[in-house]
């Protein structure tokens, strides 16, 4: 038996690993389970001896139309698609907790990566292609293009995979580590926000 929940975005917290098993479309980090894709959250009851097995939380990809449009000041979630010398290019996936189905792109420029020591910022040590980032919309470029910022503590990379294909764990505001190989990589890491979507208790 499964229970359908809300639409979630990458980086949204779904519950604790002590209460659920991370299924498709999710990943575990520091004792919690997070969404790795845009979609509908579902919780499937344990099969067999329910007292010994935990329910499984998954995220099912959603397709279809949508009319949500990013606005200045919105916090968005997106996937880094490529790096330029002075900016990271991002496909915007969510506005707040609302999933987008129309393609919008943004750029995070070096001067908008963080608030301090801007002259020391480089794009390759802040983001990598495939990273999921949380950012704020600063201004419009053209109809489908936005300038984004990760300068606040709670903004930045919320999900990254190591070369081994394993979700990385943040160990500081500027470093992430592969729990399998222990390889470290530099990132502009987002501070975990506590009041995200959680699975039904």
Q: In the chain, what are the domain boundaries?
A: 2-61, 75-163+167-179+181-186
pLDDT higher at 101 or 48: 101
pLDDT higher at 36 or 199: 36
Q: What percent of the chain has pLDDT over 90?
A: 43
Tell whether domain 75-163+167-179+181-186 is in CATH 2.40.50.140. Answer: yes
CATH T-level assignment (fold) for domain 2-61: OB fold (Dihydrolipoamide Acetyltransferase, E2P) (2.40.50)
180: Cα separation from own chain's centroid? 21
pLDDT higher at 125 or 62: 125
Q: How confident is the model at residue 113 (pLDDT cuts 50, 70, 90)?
A: very high
* Two domains, one topology: 2-61 and 75-163+167-179+181-186: yes
Q: What percent of the chain has pLDDT over 70?
A: 86
The pTM of the full predicted model, rounded to 2 decimals, is: 0.71
E-strand stretches of 9-72: 13-16, 21-22, 26-29, 32-35, 39-44, 56-61
Q: What is the pLDDT of residue 143?
A: 58
Q: What is the pLDDT of residue 39?
A: 82
pLDDT higher at 14 or 46: 14
Mean pLDDT score, 103-126: 92
């Amino acid at each position: 038996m499964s229970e359908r929940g809300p639409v979630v975005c990458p980086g949204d917290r779904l519950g604790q690993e002590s209460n659920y098993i991370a299924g498709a479309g999710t990943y575990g980090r520091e004792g919690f389970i997070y969404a790795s894709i845009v979609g509908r959250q579902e919780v499937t009851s344990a099969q067999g001896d329910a007292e010994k097995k935990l329910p499984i939380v998954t995220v099912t990809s959603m397709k279809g139309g949508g009319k949500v449009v990013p606005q200045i000041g919105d916090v968005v979630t997106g996937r880094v698609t490529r790096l330029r010398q002075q900016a990271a290019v991002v496909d915007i996936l969510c506005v707040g907790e609302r999933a987008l189905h129309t393609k919008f792109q943004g750029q995070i420029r070096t001067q908008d990566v963080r608030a301090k020591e801007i002259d020391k910022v480089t794009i390759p040590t802040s983001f990598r292609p495939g990273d999921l980032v949380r950012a704020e919309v600063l201004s419009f470029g053209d109809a489908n293009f936005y300038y984004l910022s990760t300068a606040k503590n709670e903004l930045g990379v919320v999900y990254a995979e190591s070369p081994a294909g394993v979700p990385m764990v943040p160990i500081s505001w500027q470093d992430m580590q592969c729990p399998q190989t222990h390889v470290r990589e530099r990132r502009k890491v987002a501070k975990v926000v506590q009041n995200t979507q959680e699975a039904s208790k």
